[in-house]
Amino acid sequence: MEQLLLLIFLPLAGAIISAFAGKSAKIVSTVFSVVSLALTLVIACNFIPNASTQFEVNLPWITDLGINFHAGIDGISMLVVLLTNLLVPIIILSSYKHDYKNASAFYALILFMQAGLLLVFTAMDAFLFYIGWEAALIPIYFICAFWGGKDRIRINMKFFVYTIAGSLFMLMGIIYLYLQNPAHNFDIQAFYALNLDSAQQGWIFWAFFIAFAIKMPIFPFHTWQPDTYTTAPTQGTMLLSGIMLKMGIYGVIRWLLPIVPSGVQDWSCLAIGLSIIGIVYASIIAFTQKDAKRLVAYSSIAHVGLISAGIFALNQQGMQGAMVQMLSHGINVVGLFFVLDIIFSRVKTLKIEELGGIAKVAPQLAVKFLIIVLGTVALPGTNGFIGEFLLLMGVYNVGIWAAAIAGLTIIFGAVYMLRMYQNVMLGKTNELTITFTDIQGTEKLVLYIICILIIVLGVYPKPLLHLTEASVQHLLEQVNQKLTSVK
């Protein structure tokens, strides 16, 4: 209990201290993020990989409304907690070469967002989940608004309107479930136990699905993403792509499937169809991109589309593939955006046609970039392979044509990612790239960490699969039992 409370509130304390730390904010935020990671590793080592909820805390909060501070960790939440507290110190380290104006506010917002994310991933009370959901949105809005690039206000407003609109749909669904609950509380198990008819489950499915689909995002709720990813400061893009979009995926697994399984079953074909359309659409758009950062943004939509399709396949392989791929995608996409940030800091452009020959003058960067690209395109032996393999198995169980079309993400991804690598890193140097300097200091450290994770998790993914297996199996059993009882 004390460990989980400390895990959630440690980043919040770090945010408050960082806000008043002035020039020392960078160091303060690093220390708090590393301590949070160490605590997460302690919790992970003491975690028993079964279907139970562990390190549970359940304290009265707003008793008149039946709201408790109820949080806990199972195998599903353990993985995304690990992802969050692993990536935040990497993201902070990646900013060391930047001198952000009002740095104390910048790093305080990162840690505040971390606290909100951890609340989302551990909440066992729907009201608490919603508070964390909104709390994670506020800091990323200000990070993008204050430190973003050209036209950031208009683009950020579009992102904010999208996400707030989705959140309001979800809030309506939560309030309705609360009113249907005889105990009049927001406890997740009470929501799981509700017996809702097909009409109720149908509209609640859409209330939650829209909120989660916007956050992931999947087609056609994705239009805010490319501009926001491109305009946001690199660390903001990393937070959005590496961790924040996992809120939507996690929400589908934790809240949508067990509460309205009939609604999910009724609309799963449409959800899988939208996910697969997103894969093909985003991949085709990625082929046409001249800016490397926008290319990676569209590739992220394609990868998340496959994760979404695997979840709605409603089987063990698809669900476990989604869990593993959440972690792998987070690591890989943060690595990609960091490499592009290094390139931009040297030559002040990410237009692919203006680059070339960087491997000749920066061989260490070229090797690290290649490893990250290979992980992204799911080369066997890298972290991206096992997740995409399981996802395709899961989708195949739904239909061979669905799997064939969804599998295009691997083929298309290999083409546009390797072509980008070739045009940026290989060939002859030009006036821009001839003076390019190789990675050093914290740049080396961050890329070494990412590359080691890509290789180790690719060669030995068993701990991740073992961590989530029992919880995923239990969740699917819950879903199937409710579907059987409805029939």
What would the pLDDT profile of 108-117 be if each residue is shown by its tens digit? 999 999 999 9
Q: Is residue 42, in this structure, part of any structural domain at all? A: no
Question: Is residue 28 included in any domain, yes or no?
Answer: no
Residue 100 placed within a domain: no
Give mean pLDDT, residues 151-157. Answer: 79
Predicted confidence at residue 483, as pLDDT, reads 73
H-only helix segments in 63-215: 75-94, 103-122, 126-147, 152-180, 188-192, 198-215
**Residue 50 counted as domain residue:** no
> What pLDDT is stored for residue 487 in this prediction?
53
pLDDT of residue 366: 93
Region 114-133 average pLDDT: 93
Count the Cβ atoms, other than its own, within 10 Å of residue 77: 25
Domain residues for 350?
263-487
Spatial CA neighbour of 474 closest among 126, 76, 193, 190? 76
Count the domains in the chain: 1
Question: Which residues have CB under 8 Å from 431's CB, separation 6+?
Answer: none
Long-range contacts of residues 397-400, Cβ cutoff 8 Å, at least 24 apart = 397/313, 397/315, 397/317, 397/318, 398/272, 398/313
Q: What is the mean pLDDT of residues 145-152?
A: 80
Q: Which neighbouring-strand residues pair with 62? A: 67
pLDDT in the model for residue 73: 93
Site of tokens 């592009």: 340
Gyration radius (Cα) of the chain, Å: 21
Q: Is the residue at 293 inside a domain?
A: yes
Mean pLDDT for the stretch of residues 362-389: 92
Per residue in 13-27, pLDDT tens? 999 999 888 888 899
pLDDT at 57 over 70: yes
Nearest to 4 by CA among 81, 57, 80, 79: 57
Whether 1 has a pLDDT exceeding 80, the answer reads no
> Contact, 68 vs 53, CB < 8 A?
no
**Residue 358 domain flag:** yes
Q: How confident is the model at residue 208 (pLDDT cuts 50, 70, 90)?
A: very high
Q: What is the average pLDDT value for the chain, to the nearest integer?
A: 89
Confidence of residue 161 (pLDDT cuts 50, 70, 90): confident
Q: How high is the pLDDT of residue 486? A: 57
pLDDT tens column, 168-182: 999 999 999 999 888
Q: How far apart are CA 83 and CA 96, in angstroms?
A: 21
pLDDT range class, residue 269, cuts 50, 70, 90:
confident
Q: For residue 9, how many other CB atoms are within 10 A of its CB?
A: 13
Q: How high is the pLDDT of residue 212? A: 92
Residue 351 is given by DSSP the state B
H or E stretch at 467: helix 462-486
346 assigned to some structural domain: yes
The span from the first CA to the last CA of the chain, in angstroms, equals 39
With the CA atoms of 56, 58, 59 and 65 taken in that order, what torsion angle do they form, in degrees rounded to the nearest 10? 150
Mean pLDDT along residues 355-375:
92
| Residue 215 pLDDT | 87
pLDDT digits (tens, 9 = 90+) for 6-15: 999 999 999 9
Decide if 273 is inside a domain.
yes
Least Cα distance to 97 among 443, 395, 423 occurs for: 443
